């Protein structure tokens, strides 16, 4: 008897490859497609780690910081250009 196939936190029926429901208070999960009974222990000790890209969720504070950084960097560039022109042409 083969055990449910796991992909991330999802378990699939080894007989028909349907997605299995998460177990409730029962000791088993029944596949809704083929009727196979899978022990709830198949769901034990599953560790799921998720990561989000820093730009995945909009943030008014993050956007304000980006604008300030861009403005600060552009003023530095403008100052450097002004200094170069002043040195060269007086």
3-class SS string, the chain: CCCCEEECCEEECCCCCCECCCCCCCCEEECCCCCCEEEHHHHCCCCCCCCCCCCCCCCHHHHHHHHHHHHHHHHHHHHHHHHHHHHHHC
Residue 20 has pLDDT above 70, yes or no: yes
The structure's pTM equals: 0.47
Q: What is the pLDDT of residue 85?
A: 62
Residue-wise pLDDT for 43-75, tens only, equals 777 777 778 887 777 777 777 666 555 555 566
Average pLDDT, the chain: 75
């Amino acid at each position: 008897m083969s055990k449910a196939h796991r992909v991330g936190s999802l378990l699939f029926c080894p007989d028909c490859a349907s997605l299995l429901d998460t177990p409730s208070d029962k000791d088993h999960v029944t596949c809704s497609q083929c009727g196979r009974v899978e022990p709830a222990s198949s769901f034990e000790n599953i560790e799921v780690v998720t990561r989000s890209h820093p730009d995945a969720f909009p943030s008014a504070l993050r956007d304000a910081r980006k604008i300030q950084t861009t403005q600060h960097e552009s003023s530095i560039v403008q100052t450097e250009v002004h200094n170069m022109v002043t040195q060269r042409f007086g």
